[in-house]
Structure 1
């Protein structure tokens, strides 16, 4: 286990768990947390390269997932020079979500309470989002005169359509986890006391699976949001060719023919 102050990071049985750990501030981001999350994600990438990390889970301590930016970490008092919020996006939030999107492994969010602002869109940038039944998602930017960041303005209309995306972004209403599942914003809403066990079970299953194929699938799904049909078919061809040459494909076929459990290596 690595030593951090604002997060926890541990790896067990191929599953890396990054836990946001500022529960007294609803796990809102300050500069230190951004630095530590970047360091942890670098360790995830190194673990993916050496085979020790095959799945990433992002969780949170306390009663909430993440309240977004810690406003007390910014000088926004009357008469003060206006903070450069664009610089914060470029330095912190943009690399955070692009790193998650580009990781060659499944990324799971376990949302245990309120996910607001950048915290909501951090969760939505993950590949699979599980939420406790008491959890909620809030696009709180409008309350501060801001626009959805951390990929929110891109993700929301693609998952929900423009009408619902604009409703959430302009009104800043709380979206309960059950409704988020019904709308297709997240993968699954589960009972509060089942969240941790559910995520652990799914993460363990994925960690033992053909993670090379998972990575190719992840790239294909995300690329489809901007590719035309012919370009997407070419991408599928190239990804299938790469998968067909992988150890995991050969092992999967052999295990099927021999009626045994496969031993995937992620390459």
Structure 2
């Protein structure tokens, strides 16, 4: 079963995480599917790209069960990070405005994926959490780029203490552009998409490039550092203990 679906509706490409029964976890396979969908949107010359998800969550983040079953978890994490980072870079650089529509939980790489969009719209019940250090991992997926939108110490607070941030708190922090009642989120997102699709594309893309390149001029360098770091942390005993403790539903016993 596909973990990602893609449809083109005129100038609007819609990318939907479709493993909703499992919370849309990210593993090398689903990350590859996501990357293919983003590249297809670019090939189709989409003006607006909408990322959304089926099920109870936008994405629970990395597929911890797959990590535990991997013969070499460091290699698996490296493959996942590289695939996800290519996609994040493509989203940043494509000649389209990217809109993330978030409901439920956006955790770990799921939060980073949402943050890769140009505009993040959230339902009132949405929740955001990094949670990497709870597993003994360091952040990836572009999480370090949150310093540009949140500021250094707010980003450190999310990375080190792993608070669960409500949709309204995420808006106050600068991560989310708009918060809507859950039952109104889809209609509100469609209105934003309509406004973007009817706007001046060249001006929108120019604005996106100017602001992104000013805020995060060395994004690819940061993504590479993240990939190198999380591979080492995943292969470390603390990373292995974090994964085991998560699956056992017990507190981890780090060194």
**What TM-score bracket applies, with the shorter chain setting the length?**
0.7 to 0.9
Distance 1:129 1:226, change over 3 A: closer
The residue aligned with 2:88 is 97
> Could you give the per-residue CA deviations for residues 124-174 of structure 1, whole angstroms, max 9, x where no partner exists?
11000000000010011011011111111122x222222211111011110
Secondary structure in 2 matching 1:10: strand
Query: How far has the Cα of 1:20 moved from its partner?
Result: 0.2
- Aligned to 1:115, which of 84, 103, 106? 106
Q: Does 1:74 align with 2:67?
A: yes
The residue aligned with 2:117 is 126
Asked whether the equivalents of residues 18 and 56 of structure 1 are also in contact (C-alpha less than 8 Å), the reply is yes
Please, which runs of 5 or more residues in structure 2 have no aligned partner? 218-255
Secondary structure in 2 matching 1:224: helix
Greater relative CO, 1 or 2 (CA 8 Å, sep 6+): 2
Query: How far has the Cα of 1:86 moved from its partner?
Result: 5.7
Query: How far has the Cα of 1:55 moved from its partner?
Result: 0.4
Secondary structure in 1 matching 2:49: strand
Asked whether the equivalents of residues 55 and 107 of structure 1 are also in contact (C-alpha less than 8 Å), the reply is yes
RMSD of aligned Cα (Å): 1.7
Separation in 1, partners of 2:108, 2:131: 5
Query: How far has the Cα of 1:87 moved from its partner?
Result: 2.1
The residue aligned with 1:135 is 126
Asked whether the equivalents of residues 35 and 87 of structure 2 are also in contact (C-alpha less than 8 Å), the reply is yes
Distance 1:172 1:34, change over 3 A: same
Q: Does 1:144 align with 2:145?
A: no
Secondary structure in 2 matching 1:84: helix
Asked whether the equivalents of residues 76 and 83 of structure 1 are also in contact (C-alpha less than 8 Å), the reply is no
Separation in 2, partners of 1:82, 1:40: 26
- Aligned to 1:61, which of 54, 62, 68? 54
- Aligned to 1:206, which of 196, 199, 208? 196
Separation in 1, partners of 2:51, 2:173: 22
Moved over 6 A (4+): none
TM-score (norm 1): 0.77
- Aligned to 2:211, which of 218, 221, 226? 221
Asked whether the equivalents of residues 67 and 76 of structure 2 are also in contact (C-alpha less than 8 Å), the reply is no
- Greater C-alpha radius of gyration: 1
Separation in 2, partners of 1:193, 1:129: 17
Asked whether the equivalents of residues 66 and 119 of structure 1 are also in contact (C-alpha less than 8 Å), the reply is yes
Asked whether the equivalents of residues 25 and 70 of structure 1 are also in contact (C-alpha less than 8 Å), the reply is no
Separation in 2, partners of 1:63, 1:109: 16
Please, which runs of 5 or more residues in structure 1 have no aligned partner? 228-267
Q: Does 1:106 align with 2:97?
A: yes
Secondary structure in 2 matching 1:209: coil
Query: How far has the Cα of 1:83 moved from its partner?
Result: 2.4
TM-score (norm 2): 0.80
Distance 1:90 1:179, change over 3 A: closer
Query: How far has the Cα of 1:202 moved from its partner?
Result: 0.8
Secondary structure in 1 matching 2:195: helix
Query: How far has the Cα of 1:89 moved from its partner?
Result: 4.8
The 5 A counterparts of 1:236-255 are none
